[in-house]
Amino acid sequence: MKSRKKLSCWEIMHCDDTILCPMRKNGSTCWEWVEENNGFQCHYGMCRDCLVYLYNNDNTILSHEEVEEVLKKRKLCQPEK
């Protein structure tokens, strides 16, 4: 499988760069932050269902092509080939 650039959540979701986001500030991923801070989200599978998580991880239920198709249909980030 060819490697591709990992994208941050704000790149995928087109977040407004004027909004103060803790993930953008510290450069980590939200699922890493949640795990480090004992957040409940990952314990209930919320991280595994997130498009950003699915796009950036190899061990997911969907293939990269399927995730890219979902992003395309939702008019979200379309990664460079």
User: pLDDT tens digit string along 28-51?
Assistant: 788 887 778 776 766 677 888 888
Q: Does residue 37 belong to any structural domain of this protein?
A: yes
Q: Does residue 4 belong to any structural domain of this protein?
A: no
- What gap in Å lies between CA 71 and CA 69, rounded to an integer? 5
- pLDDT confidence bin for 1, thresholds 50/70/90: very low
Q: Does residue 49 belong to any structural domain of this protein?
A: yes
- pLDDT confidence bin for 79, thresholds 50/70/90: low
Q: Does residue 80 belong to any structural domain of this protein?
A: no
User: Residue 56: what are its φ and ψ, rounded to 5°?
Assistant: -95, 0
Q: How many structural domains compose the chain?
A: 1
As a whole number, mean pLDDT of residues 5-23 equals 83
Domain that holds residue 39: 9-73
In 3D space, the residue among 46, 45, 48 whose CA is nearest the CA of residue 57 turns out to be 48
Q: Does residue 1 belong to any structural domain of this protein?
A: no
